Chains A and B, each alone.
Chain A
Amino acid sequence: MLLVFVMVVNSLNFWIFFVIVLVVYYGLFRKSSKLQNFTLLASSYLFYGMVDCRMCALLLVATGIFYFLGISIANNNGKNEKVASKLTTIGVLLGVGLLFYFKYLDFFIEQFGILLSSIGFQNNLSTFGILMPLGISFFTFKLIAYVIEVHRETLEPSRDPIAFGTFIAFFPTIMSGPIDQPGKFLPQLNINRTWRYDNFSDGIKRIFWGMFLKMCIADQLSGYTSAVFGNYEHHNGTSLVIAAVLYYFEMYADFAGYSDMAIGTSQLLGLSISENFNRPLFAQNISEYWRRWHISLTSWITQYVYMPLNLVFRNWGMIGICLAAIINTIVIGAWHGANWTYIIFGLYHGVIIASIVLFEKRRKKLEKTYSLKKKSWYKNSRMLLTFILVTIGMVLFRSKSLGDFWGLLSSIKGFGTPFIPLDPTLLLVSIISICVLMIKEYCNENKLNMHLLHSNYFIIRVITVALLACFIISFGELNGGSFIYFQF
């Protein structure tokens, strides 16, 4: 049981573990960046090893190989470009191969078997039942980004195995990201981190806000959404629509909550990591939504998939851009797991983005002619449309299979009294919390000077944090489950 407790960032066990790390990190080793890195590496492997020691060995071997690959690529850069390119290709293939073997091989075998059966070939293909290491999608992307950046000479290879190992296995981010850019993270490990009030204050605020999102919104909503989606045949259209809308909030609060806690924890360690969300609920179209949602993944895919694809399709004009966008979003969808629902989820978003690209000129012309950009009804209706489109995508994302999704969609008929859970007060807590979230995001989005957590006054900041803590303990789901993104 301990194993499971330690890995959940919002558990007491994690914070006991983290305080011990902090004491060693700042107390014993504050004068040496190498020893601080070693503390982070050891605690990261301990944290990861709690889940399964075999996974630790895989992480260690992969890190070792990419460490030497990085140095070899750098040694050949400029001198022997062909070798450097080949080594980079090997690195990329190795990373993709790892991901493919652990995440997709069983799926492909299964689908191949189905295909053979459908065309009349008897087959005995059986899957390997491969156990997927936690966080593999996150650390393989870091590894791939590292070799590419070294090859592009935008990054000096790490010649410190401890620092490189820390970058790959960094415990606040290994399970669910954000996926850090090596060029941003690695240089921070070269200098020793000292205890600074700003880091402490900002870190604590981020952690409490993350806990609020996770425990007062995501965990409170999961009871309702699971009850409705898990038994959709017995619910009417009203309940299904409400559950779909709430699931969007649940996903956002769960993932943004984790990201906030990871960012806050890193800040306490004196390290700055990538932001993952930028108020996606205020996005005015799907392209903008992807610039605001899971930013670290989308920027990775844009940098290493979309840009090269755009180059490949550069002579195809508008069709090339659309094709690159569709492939881009399919990769984003498939990254989440081996299931047709994720691929169709990507395709769905890709098609919408492609239509936005295709009609962009006309839209801009209309906006100019009627001065639409200044009109709030226009902005709000675009936001609402995006919200509806994302919500439909979320339902697809949550479905176990395409049949399940279709069954759920066809059940949205016969609107009536919505499903009321056994304890409706829990739903009330989540709705109040969603209102708090929306007010905060609205103020930030519109740059209204109504800061509480970031007030200029020290006393207001402390009171806000204290009241937030009281609200979490009084109304939050303290026995909540794991984070949704742990499964990816």
Chain B
Amino acid sequence: MKRIIAGFIIFLTIFVSADVIFGYLCKYMESRAKTGGTASRLYLVQESNEDIVMFGSSRMSHHYDPIVFEDSLSLSCYNAGEDGYGILNNYGMILLRIKHHKPKMIVYDVCDYDIKAFDPRQQTEMLRAYYDVPEINEIFKELLPKEYLKLKSNMYRYNSKFFRLLSCYIGYGSKRDSGYLPMDGVIDYDVNLCYDTIPPMTDPIKMRYFGKLIDTCKANDVQLVLSLSPSYLAPNSNAFYAIKQMCNEKNVPFYDYYSDSIISINKIYFRDKDHMNSEGASIFTKELVGKIVTDNLLGLK
């Protein structure tokens, strides 16, 4: 028994020390990231002061050109879209951005990640680094109460992130100046028209977080715009009905270009089924900005 206790004490000492050192290293690299997603997030929550900030998944980062916004509205703009993340991650990032600097407008691109029931652990993994911020802590308490103890560990918080942080720290990879990542090329395979690819049921957790997003923006006097960018050969946007209805009830503008009669049917505007190339993105952004101007959402008229 003595051996087990001795072993356990040694084990715990090494584990705690490694956890502290690992956490320190990761935080250090994170706070000095030069490139990649880490640098973009760092910029967003510590430096950015643009008037318009845009959030969403990869469809946001590839579809919305901030230069078009800046030229048309004479307001600074930043694209904070992140590959593979939906409302759970973006709501946290929006809270951090509002806390650091309140923008005039937030544009949110709605996608599959905002309606399907993806694992909340995966969808909030980028927020783990901000676990100590009370607003983010609240999200974890609500979504993942069982993770409470695990999140006390730095190794768990930064699980699988070390090498990514290291590459961002040494400056490997691209730097996102305006956040926009234009795509080149044209879709090179056939896409079949499919009516039931997206289930019509919207994840209630995601709906609750959309409600929270709308309330937060209203409470902070930030104009929120929800938008559905075009998808190649998308027959309709029925899958997003619940979010549209919520926007309608709460008087939030929702611009639906998902099955746009010009862009969505034209192969030359797409890199793949879900992502437009830079040509498509430019046409779409101009359309959207025109609509925002027409509807005078920022009171510029």
Contacts and interface: CB of A to CB of B under 8 A. Distances in A.
B292 to A, nearest CB: 31
Given A197-B3, A234-B189, A470-B19, A429 B160 contact: yes
Given A470-B22, A474-B162, A477-B160, A425 B167 contact: yes
A463 B14 contact: yes
Interface stretch (B4-12, B40-48, B91-99, B226-234): B4-12
Contact of A466 (B10, B121, B160, B167): B10
Interface in A437-488: 458-459, 462-463, 465-467, 469-470, 473-479
B156 A462 contact: no
B4 A474 contact: no
A458 B155 CA distance: 25
B162 to A, nearest CB: 6
A478 B11 contact: no
B22 A474 contact: yes
Interface in B6-29: 6-7, 10-11, 14-15, 18-19, 22
B160 A425 contact: yes
Contact of A467 (B3, B14, B167): B14
A473 B155 contact: yes
Interface string A342-368: 000000000000000000000000000
B158 interface: yes
Q: Binding site of A, secondary structure by majority: helix, strand, loop or mixed?
A: helix
Question: Which residue, B1, B7, B84, B122, has most C-beta atoms of chain A within 10 A?
Answer: B7
Contacts of B15: 466, 469-470
Contacts of B158: 474
Interface in A410-450: 422-423, 425-426, 428-429
Contacts of B84: 422
Contacts of B156: 473, 478
A6 B15 CA distance: 26
B160 A467 contact: no
A475 B18 contact: no
A423 B18 contact: no
Contacts of B159: 473-476, 478
B196 interface: no
A200 interface: yes
Contacts of A426: 160
Interface in A373-432: 422-423, 425-426, 428-429
A196 to B, nearest CB: 11
B164 A479 contact: no
B221 interface: no
Interface string B139-179: 00000000000000101101110111001000000000000
Nearest to A478: B159
B249 interface: no
B119 A479 contact: yes
A462 B7 contact: yes
B83 interface: yes
B112 to A, nearest CB: 16
Question: Which 3 residue pairs spanning A and B have beta carbons closest together?
Answer: A425-B163, A466-B14, A473-B155
15 contacts: A466-B15, A466-B18, A467-B14, A473-B155, A473-B156, A473-B159, A474-B158, A474-B160, A475-B162, A476-B160, A477-B160, A478-B156, A478-B159, A478-B160, A479-B121
Interface of B: 1, 3-4, 6-7, 10-11, 14-15, 18-19, 22, 83-84, 119, 121-122, 153, 155-156, 158-160, 162-164, 167, 189
